[in-house]
Structure 1
């Protein structure tokens, strides 16, 4: 992890600003560590640590014996700046849960007015997978995640989908651990069913109510975990975020 107030955190922030400026094309080879350190006025160890973190995030790719290369274009990197900023800063789980809840409710409301038959069919498929895997928590969480991604896609708002994905990525480690008993999985299935019923009926008010209720209980399951790792002390582990 890289706290924002360390030399490596400052270097990572500077590099991200440069990568999203539009001046670099995907596949561009970055200057060597020594040159970057001179350009940024910092030590090579800070540059090395910042690049290692950015590689974990998928921003750059290190080719042994060749160098470090930028993975994506500015347009592809920009939607991720929210998650990078949060990871480099000191945010708390409760803050992210509040943000996620508001965005999920908004996505549900919009999706209720725009969901196409293909979206609804995909949502039914993900819900069926959740029902089938109530005792297989890894598969259950995966189906749950896909349900929410499809719902956001059904809203037709790509910006909303991108921001939601960034927030979900930051919360993934805690979401993965929030379903720990069959009764909790059964409750979650019932909550998703109510959301899907509202979307199928194209009823924004019902979608708002169903998702608000689901977010309340889903967030409470996370908060009720006996011990939340990492962010309780104000930092996010890069390795956990990169899992999505």
Structure 2
């Protein structure tokens, strides 16, 4: 057998997403004090214009920074830089993007485990004011029914708020980390549900979760979540609830 002739081909370097690049720049600006604790970052549309990128890339970056604990992002308040106590937390996009249908299913399993905890905790301890906030999040979803992107953002905020009501900051960060790689699947799923006339059913399951929490009925709240997940899993790796 003749000797193998080497070729000039070199393996391609793995490229990060635009969102990761934006997040790295923003982190540097936070770490060097350009943006200080308590400062509000420019709005997402303004950031997209300044970076010369899509709004989706900025949203991914904000999700990365939020998962890393560098900022808090809430509807109506914008994105606020957190106090990091002198430390310099870093992120590396450790969760990454969903690679295939099997990984998507595993991500959904992890999400269900986390949300079983958040729903149980919220059912046990949610105050009337927190129940009102959850209902407000459902109404924000209703307001976004005409726009799949807006509905998807409101949907994500509902589940992040649910984790905050549970009162465990580590679980909240894990939820944020899981939501980021699922966001694109979520948008596609919402668009499909809207096109197939099932978006109202999806919205109703979120309302049932809140109803169960308000009544301290864990079984009902969890059943609402399971029904929501069942609708999502019908579309496989294309989306989530």
* Cα 1:89/1:153, change in 2 over 3 Å: closer
**What TM-score does the superposition give when structure 2 sets the normalisation length?**
0.58
Which of 141, 152, 157 pairs up with 2:168? 157
Aligned twin of 1:216: 230
Q: Are 1:179 and 1:185, in contact at CA under 8 Å, matched by a contact in 2?
A: yes
Written as runs of structure 1 = structure 2, the 5 A alignment for 1:1-244 is: 26-27=31-32, 77=89, 84-87=93-96, 92-180=103-191, 181-182=193-194, 183-223=197-237
**Aligned-residue offset at 1:110:** 1.2
Which is richer in helix?
1
* Cα 1:195/1:154, change in 2 over 3 Å: same
RMSD, aligned CA: 3.3
**Aligned-residue offset at 1:208:** 2.1
**Aligned-residue offset at 1:100:** 1.2
**What TM-score does the superposition give when structure 1 sets the normalisation length?**
0.57
Aligned twin of 1:233: none
Cα deviation code 1:108-158 (max 9, x no counterpart): 111111212221111111111222332221221122111111111110111
Moved more, 216-225 or 195-204: 216-225
Aligned twin of 1:19: none
Cα deviation code 1:45-88 (max 9, x no counterpart): xxxxxxxxxxx6558xxxxxxxxxxxx7786737x66xx22228
Q: CA–CA distance in 2 between the matches of 1:109 and 1:74?
A: 34
Q: Are 1:195 and 1:210, in contact at CA under 8 Å, matched by a contact in 2?
A: yes
* Cα 1:172/1:88, change in 2 over 3 Å: closer
Structure 2 residues without counterparts, runs of 5 or longer: 1-10, 16-29, 34-60, 69-83
Query: Number of aligned pairs?
Result: 165
**Aligned-residue offset at 1:211:** 1.5
**Aligned-residue offset at 1:104:** 1.6
Secondary structure of 2:146's match? coil
Q: CA–CA distance in 2 between the matches of 1:177 and 1:157?
A: 30
* Cα 1:206/1:132, change in 2 over 3 Å: same
**Aligned-residue offset at 1:6:** 8.1
Q: Are 1:179 and 1:221, in contact at CA under 8 Å, matched by a contact in 2?
A: no
Cα deviation code 1:78-103 (max 9, x no counterpart): 7x66xx22228967222212211221
* Cα 1:224/1:171, change in 2 over 3 Å: closer
Q: CA–CA distance in 2 between the matches of 1:171 and 1:121?
A: 27
